Amino acid sequence: MKNKCASRYVTTGLAVMVVSLAAGCATIDTASSRFPQLESNINAAKAADAEVYAPTPLKSAETKLAAAKSAVLSEDMVTANKLIDEAMVDADYARALAPTEKSKIEAMKLREAIQSVRDEIRQMPTVK
């Protein structure tokens, strides 16, 4: 009786392992299917003027995209997925950072203009 119980557990365990292995093998090439979303994120960052206001994270995303494509060609899916994840974060960061940096630059220009007007006012002769 104990042997039958043990064999059921072993059989069930093996069946679970086979199903898990089959499911894992079926999803190995998820990297290639993620490239369009990554490219879309990079294009969205470019549309937000990241090339001007957040070039470092944008270049990082583009470099990691190229490296991920190379990893897929060499069938290193673990590295490819890691690079895609990092590139997604970099592209999203560039897209979010660009408007902030643009606003900072515009605010700095406004402060400079205000300061120059204040300097002009100080240099005006006093009216009596």
Specify the number of domains making up the chain. Answer: 1
E-strand ranges in 1-128 read none
| Neighbouring residues of 83: CB distance < 8 A, sequence distance ≥ 6 | 64, 65, 67, 68, 71
* Structural domain that includes position 81: 30-123
Phi, psi (5° rounding) for residue 48? -90, 15
Examine residue 67 and state whether it is found in any structural domain, yes or no.
Answer: yes
Which tokens belong to 56? 């470092």
pLDDT, one tens digit per residue, over 85-128 is: 999 999 999 999 999 999 999 999 999 999 999 999 999 888 77
Its pTM surpasses 0.75: no
Examine residue 18 and state whether it is found in any structural domain, yes or no.
Answer: no
Angle between helices 30-47 and 77-123 (to 10 degrees): 10
